């Protein structure tokens, strides 16, 4: 099935029956992807007095409760409320869901014991393209990103200059295959988060950061339509399901 998309004064065709899901599912398992020193998520039948919400246990329905942290346990989308004293909800900040996106692939640079995505790399990868969203795939890109245990591993992250570059370029939605755009242990500096949302200037309430995606190697770099799907949580972050559609002129 085809759909016609009008974006940035251009008309494109997408095949809606060819979605490219770049989210990592949340599972109640020890090998569920994990960061920030938390135990794995839990999914279990709710219990009310002598009733257990499981068909196997004799109930008419399966009725599970779920314990998880959106930042730690899978693909999630966050708003500026992630780092502000004032409470802001991703459900209130993200009001549009379809964007023209550019998928880029970078090899983080080694610097002083860290692996960093630099402004220079993004300038080279994006060039003069104007995009509402940028999806960053890092190399090496192996399937163990689907269940990697990130705690105490110092994963790659964005330099502050790279985040400023994206902000100044007008990128509203940044998606990365890392647990954070910032260094795992930075004493709360959060330089890339703060720079991207411009918390010391005109705060970008409608900008989002999506972390812990996985872009398979079979997906080519280039221009896509991004459908950024979230659960309607009144929270700074929500588990999310970003879906790409290849654009056809």
Tokens of 7: 């974006």
Rounded CA gap, 35 and 32, in Å? 10
Identify the pLDDT of residue 247: 87
* Cα-based angle 100, 155, 138 (whole degrees, multiple of 5): 40
| Burial status of residue 145 (CB atoms within 10 A of its CB: 0-12, 13-18, 19 or more) | buried
- What predicted TM-score, i.e. pTM, was given to this entire model? 0.96
* Structural domain contains residue 62: no
**Of residues 108, 216, 123, the one with CA closest to residue 155:** 108
Q: Please, where are the H alpha helices in the chain? A: 90-93, 119-126, 160-168, 191-197
Whether 108 is covered by a domain: the verdict is: yes
pLDDT higher than threshold 90 for residue 8 = no
In a domain, 33, yes or no: no
Which domain does 197 fall in, by range? 2-26+73-246
Any idea what the CATH number is for the domain that residue 101 is in?
Answer: 3.50.30.50
Overall number of domains in the chain = 1
CB-CB contact of 248 with 230 (8 Å): no
Pull the structure tokens for residue 58: 């004799």
pLDDT in tens, 112-166: 999 999 999 999 999 999 999 999 999 999 999 999 999 999 999 999 999 999 9
Tokens of 35: 């960061």
User: Which of 13-17, 47-51, 107-111, 151-155 bottoms out in mean pLDDT, i.e. has the lowest?
Assistant: 13-17
């Amino acid at each position: 099935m085809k759909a016609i998309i009008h974006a940035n004064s251009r008309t494109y065709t997408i095949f809606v029956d060819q979605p490219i899901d770049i989210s990592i599912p949340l599972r109640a398992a020890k090998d569920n992807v994990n960061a920030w020193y938390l135990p794995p998520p839990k999914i279990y039948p709710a219990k009310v007095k002598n009733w257990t919400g499981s068909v196997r246990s004799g109930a008419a329905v399966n009725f599970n409760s779920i314990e998880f942290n959106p930042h730690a346990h899978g693909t999630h989308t966050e708003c500026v409320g992630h780092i502000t004293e004032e409470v802001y909800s991703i459900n209130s900040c993200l009001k549009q869901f379809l964007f023209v996106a550019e998928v880029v692939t970078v090899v983080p640079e080694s610097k002083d014991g860290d692996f960093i995505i630099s402004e220079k790399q993004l300038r080279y990868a994006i060039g003069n393209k104007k995009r509402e969203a940028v999806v960053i795939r890092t190399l090496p890109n192996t399937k163990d990103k689907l269940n990697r245990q990130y705690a105490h591993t110092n994963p790659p992250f964005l330099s502050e200059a790279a985040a400023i570059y994206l902000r100044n370029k007008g990128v509203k939605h940044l998606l990365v295959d890392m647990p954070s755009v910032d260094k795992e242990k930075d004493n709360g500096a959060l330089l890339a988060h703060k720079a991207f949302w411009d918390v010391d200037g005109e705060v970008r309430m409608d900008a989002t950061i999506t972390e812990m995606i996985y872009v398979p190697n079979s997906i080519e770099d280039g221009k896509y339509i991004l459908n950024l799907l979230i659960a309607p949580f009144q929270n700074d972050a929500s588990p999310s399901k970003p879906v790409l559609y290849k654009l056809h002129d």
